[in-house]
Structure 1
Amino acid sequence: MRKKLLALLLPAALLTGTTAVLLTSPGLTFAAPDAGWQRMEGTPWLPVEQLIAFDENNILAADRSVSKWDGAKWTAEPLPELDSAVSGLAARGPSDVWAVGQSASAHFNGRGWTRYDYDRTGQFQQAMHAVAPLSASRAMAVGWYQDNIKLPGDGRRIPAVQLWNGTGWTQATVPDLGLPRGADAALLGVAGTGQNEAWVVGGSWWAEHDGDALLLYYDGQSWRRIQVGFAATLNAVTAFAPDDVWVGGFSVRDGTQIPVAAHWDGTRWTPTETVDVPESGFKSFTRTASGEVLAVTGDYLIDPWRKSGGHTELLAWKDNRWQRQAKPASRGLNAITAVPGSDTLIVGGRDADDQPAAWSLGAGHRESPPFAGEQLKISYDNGFEFSLKFTGADRMHWTVLAGQDPAEGDERIVHRKLADQVYELRWVERDGTSVRQVQNWKNRTVTAEITLPEPQTLRLHGTFSVLG
C-alpha cells in the first residue's frame, strides 16, 4: 500500500458558544452550521421549496401548499383547490401574490385567494412549474405539456408558457429551440425584470444526453434563446435588477450531479466557478440589503415524499467565487430569502431528522469568523473523509473516519503543539494499517466537531480535493 500523508497547521483562537467558525484554504473550506440559526416555530406541511419575505412578520413558503409566518408561527393559507401541489410562488407585494400548481393557479389580492384555470386549448396534459409577475396586470407561468398521449408516459414534454392579461391566462407561443427531433424539454423557472420582460430557464433531454440548458429572454413581444456555455438543467432564476440576474441548476459529469450557475451583468452571461458539492444543484438565490448574494444547493430531483439523498450547502458569492457559510443542521435546504431592508436570512428545507423546517438568521449573528486555516496544508494521493475535534481553545483531537477509526494513542497520529494556540496534526498511513485504502475520494464531504466549554458542539462541514 502506498504511503499517504495528511498534515494540518492551524492558528486557533478562543471560541465562544455563539461564534461562527470558518476555516478556509485552497481546496478545503469549513463552515460551522447552526451558529446563530434559529428554528422558526411550527412546521410547514412539507419541505419548503420557495420563500418570499415581505418583512420579518410576513413570510410566505411554498410547501406543496402555501404557509405564512406571522412572526410567531407558521399557519396554512386558505388556498382554493388547485387539483395539484403548489409548484411555484411569486409576488409583487403582500397584496399581489401568485401561487401556481400544475393544473391551475391562485391569486391573492390582499383580501383572499381566487382560483384561475390555465388555457389548455389543444393540450392533453399540462404542468406549470413557476410563475413571475411582469407588471401590475401581467404575469407569466412556465412549465411543459405533453403531446400524442395514448397511454400514461407516452408523448414528449414540450415547453409551455401561459401569460396573464389581467383577466385570464392565455397560451403563448414558444419559439423553435433548435432541439433534436423527439427531444423532451421543460421550462422550470421564470423571473421578471420589469416592463413586461422576463428570463426563463429550463432543460432538455434526449437519447443518452444528460441535459441541455435552456435560457430564454422575453422582451414583452418576442423570444430569444441564449447560450450559457455549459450543458445543464437550469431550475433557479432570480432577477435583482435588469442588469443583475442569476441562474443556476446542475450539470451531470461522470454520472454525478454538480451545481452550476451563471450571472448576467446587463452585457453578457458569465458562468461561475464550479462548486464541489456532489449530487447537488443550485436551488435558490437571494441578496441582502448590504448587497451580498447567497444561494442554497441541494438534492435536485428530490421526491417530496422520500428522504433527501444529496448534499446541501449555503453559499455566498465573495471574491468572485462561491464560499461555504454557516448553515442549520439539515438533510437538505431548498430555498433562501432575505428580509427586505435587512441582512436577516430565512432558509427552508428538511431538518436533521428529515422533517419539514425553516430557520432564520439575524444580521447581528453574521460576524467575521474568529480564525481561519490559511496555513492549512494537505498532501495525499487520493484523500480521506475525516473528523477532528477541538476541546476549549487549547486542545485538539484528531480522528480518521476511513474504515476503522484508529484508537487513542495510535502511532499513526502525531499531535503536537507548535506554539500557543498553534497545532500540527499529522496522520501517516503505513503499510498494514487497519484503515482501508480508499480510491477516488476527491471532493468528498469532510465532517468535524468543535466541543465548546459550555458545553456546546458545533459541526463543521467542508469538501476537499487533491492539491497539486
Structure 2
Amino acid sequence: MRRRRFVAGTAGALSGIAVGAGTARATAPAARAQDWRPVPAPGSTPAAQLRRIAAAGPGLAWAVGEEGRYGSADGRALGMLWNGSAWTKTDLAHLNHSRLLDVAGTCATAAWSVGMPNGTASPLLRWDGTTWRETGFPGFPGSSGSGEQDVRLTAVAVGPDRRVWVGGTRDGAFALLRGDGKSWRWLDPLPATGVNVYRILLRPSGEVWVAGDQGAGGGWAGFVARWNGSWTVLPTVQGVRLAVSDLHPDAVDDVWVVGSDFGVGGPPGRPGAAVLSHWDGTAWTPVPPGFSLGALSGIAADARGRAAWITGWDYRDQSRSTYLRRDGGAWTVVRGPAGPAPAPYLNDVTRVPGTSTFWSVGMSHSNPTPPTEAYVEHLDA
C-alpha cells in the first residue's frame, strides 16, 4: 500500500537554524535565498504539482507530476520540458495515467518515467523527443513473453551508460528491472516484505541504492537497501509512521536520508515531523533539521558527488520555500524567494550536470486543491 503524504497550509514564523551531527544552533537572521529564484512553469490545470525533476544539461530537463486534482480525487499525468530558455507543458492526452511518479534522463534519447495508472498495469514511459510514450517490458500486458498482470513501477534511474534501472513490485515483492530500452531483465527480488520504494540512486561504483518505507507493527519505518549483484538491507530508520522520500550515499558508510514521520494520532490534517538521518556504517543517527513540523523531500549532490542541497517544507513558516544547504559539516536552513507563491511546497531538487546550478520543483501551495499550480525554482550558484 502506498503511504500518503500530508499536505496542508497555515502560516507562522521560524528563523534559520544550522545543524550538525546531532546538534542545532540558531542563526540570525535566517540564511538568505542564495539566488534561488522562481521560474514560470505555465499551462498546468489546478490543482497541479511537480513531483520529480531530472536534468540532462543546461538546455534540457524534464519535470513530472499531476494536474487536475481535487482533494483525494485522481488527477491526470503532468509533464514539463525545459528547452534552455523556458518550461513548457508536454501534451500527455494519449496517456491513461493519474500522475507521473518519477523521471530520469541523461540525454534526449535516454529519458524515462513511470506513473500511476488508471487501469491495472503500470507502464514504463520513454521520451521520444516530443512527449512520453509507453514501451514494453517483461511483465507489462501485451509485451513479448508477458503473462504477469500485477506489476507496479514506482521509481526509475538512468546511468551515464544509458542503462535504465526501474523499481517496482512484481508478484507482490519489490525488484529491480534493468535494461537498455531493447532487452530487459528482472533481478532477484528484495529479501524484505511490505516495502514501498520511492527513489533509486546510482553510484559511480556501480552500486544501486533504493529508499522508501516498510510496514512494521501497524505503522511503517524508513527503508534503505543497496544492490551490487546481491541485496544488502540496512536497518530501518525507526519511526511510528516514517517514510524515506530520498537518499544520498556519499559512501557505503556515509549515507543521508530525508523524509517525514507522522507519529501517532493527532487531529485531522496533522503534519508530520521533518526527518534527516545519517548512516555511519553502523547505525542511523537522527539530525535535527532546524524545524520540527513539516517534511524533507529531496537531496541533490554537488559536482563532487556529496550531498549539498535538501528540499523541505516548514509547516510553521510557509511564506517561502525551505531548503537545507550543506555548509562544511553542518546543514543550514535557507529560505527561497518571497512573493511568487503563497505557500510553496517543494518535492524534489537536482543539479544540472556539468554546472553548479540546481532546479527544484513542487507546487505553489501546500494544499493540493485549486488554485494550486506547478511551481519551479532555480539556483544560479
TM-score, L = length of structure 1? 0.54
Q: Structure 2 residue aligned with 1:347, among 292, 298, 310?
A: 310
In the aligned structure 2, how far is the partner of 1:21 from the partner of 1:366? 4
- Count of paired positions: 291
Which residue identity lines up with residue 223 of structure 2 in the other structure?
V
Q: Structure 1 residue aligned with 2:126, among 163, 180, 184?
A: 163
Q: Which residue of 2 aligns with 1:109?
A: 83
Matched, 1:87 2:51: yes
Would you say the 8 A contact 1:204–1:213 is kept in 2? yes
Cα root mean square deviation, aligned = 3.7
After TM superposition, the structure 1 = structure 2 runs for residues 394-413 of structure 1, keeping only pairs within 5 Å, are none
Which residue identity lines up with residue 243 of structure 1 in the other structure?
G
Matched, 1:196 2:162: yes
In the aligned structure 1, how far is the partner of 2:153 from the partner of 2:114? 6
Q: Which residue of 2 aligns with 1:128?
A: 100
Q: Structure 1 residue aligned with 2:110, among 129, 134, 138?
A: 138
SS at match of 2:159: strand
Which residue identity lines up with residue 81 of structure 2 in the other structure?
H
Q: Structure 1 residue aligned with 2:327, among 363, 373, 384?
A: 363
Matched, 1:32 2:23: yes
Give me the identity figure in percent: 24
Q: CA deviation at 1:214?
A: 4.4
In the aligned structure 1, how far is the partner of 2:200 from the partner of 2:55? 15
Taking structure 1 as reference, are residues 86 and 175 closer, same or farther at Cα in structure 2, changes over 3 Å only? same
In the aligned structure 2, how far is the partner of 1:41 from the partner of 1:317? 29
In the aligned structure 1, how far is the partner of 2:257 from the partner of 2:269? 22
SS at match of 2:107: coil
Which residue identity lines up with residue 173 of structure 1 in the other structure?
G
Q: Structure 2 residue aligned with 1:215, among 151, 162, 176?
A: 176
* 1:448-467 per-position Cα deviation (integer Å, ceiling 9, x unaligned): xxxxxxxxxxxxxxxxxxxx
Q: Which residue of 2 aligns with 1:97?
A: 61
Would you say the 8 A contact 1:119–1:171 is kept in 2? no
Q: CA deviation at 1:358?
A: 1.9
* 1:332-387 per-position Cα deviation (integer Å, ceiling 9, x unaligned): 212222333385732222225163642333433439xxxxxxxxxxxxxxxxxxxx
Q: Structure 1 residue aligned with 2:137, among 153, 158, 174?
A: 174
Q: Which residue of 2 aligns with 1:269?
A: 231
In the aligned structure 2, how far is the partner of 1:289 from the partner of 1:32? 22
Q: CA deviation at 1:172?
A: 0.7
* 1:141-194 per-position Cα deviation (integer Å, ceiling 9, x unaligned): 1113223xxxxxxxx4x21211113344321113227999885x5322211112
In the aligned structure 2, how far is the partner of 1:339 from the partner of 1:362? 10
Q: Which residue of 1 aligns with 2:92?
A: 118
SS at match of 1:195: coil
Q: Structure 2 residue aligned with 1:282, among 244, 252, 272?
A: 244
After TM superposition, the structure 1 = structure 2 runs for residues 291-440 of structure 1, keeping only pairs within 5 Å, are 292-299=254-261, 307=269, 309-331=271-293, 332-341=295-304, 345-351=308-314, 353=316, 355=318, 357-366=321-330
Would you say the 8 A contact 1:188–1:202 is kept in 2? yes
Would you say the 8 A contact 2:62–2:80 is kept in 1? yes
Runs of 5+ consecutive residues of structure 2 not aligned to the other structure? 1-16, 67-76, 263-267, 332-381
SS at match of 1:298: strand
SS at match of 1:319: coil
Would you say the 8 A contact 2:237–2:284 is kept in 1? yes
Would you say the 8 A contact 2:212–2:246 is kept in 1? no
Would you say the 8 A contact 1:36–1:361 is kept in 2? no
Would you say the 8 A contact 1:138–1:165 is kept in 2? no
Taking structure 1 as reference, are residues 353 and 365 closer, same or farther at Cα in structure 2, changes over 3 Å only? same
Q: Structure 1 residue aligned with 2:186, among 225, 240, 262?
A: 225
In the aligned structure 1, how far is the partner of 2:252 from the partner of 2:137? 38
Runs of 5+ consecutive residues of structure 1 not aligned to the other structure? 1-17, 23-30, 43-70, 148-155, 206-210, 301-305, 368-468
In the aligned structure 1, how far is the partner of 2:251 from the partner of 2:211? 22
SS at match of 1:78: coil
In the aligned structure 2, how far is the partner of 1:90 from the partner of 1:172? 19
4+ long deviations beyond 6 Å: 35-38, 177-182
Taking structure 1 as reference, are residues 242 and 36 closer, same or farther at Cα in structure 2, changes over 3 Å only? farther
Q: CA deviation at 1:105?
A: 1.6
Which residue identity lines up with residue 63 of structure 2 in the other structure?
A
Q: Which residue of 1 aligns with 2:197?
A: 234
Would you say the 8 A contact 1:100–1:128 is kept in 2? yes
TM-score, L = length of structure 2? 0.65
In the aligned structure 2, how far is the partner of 1:245 from the partner of 1:298? 23
Which residue identity lines up with residue 112 of structure 1 in the other structure?
A
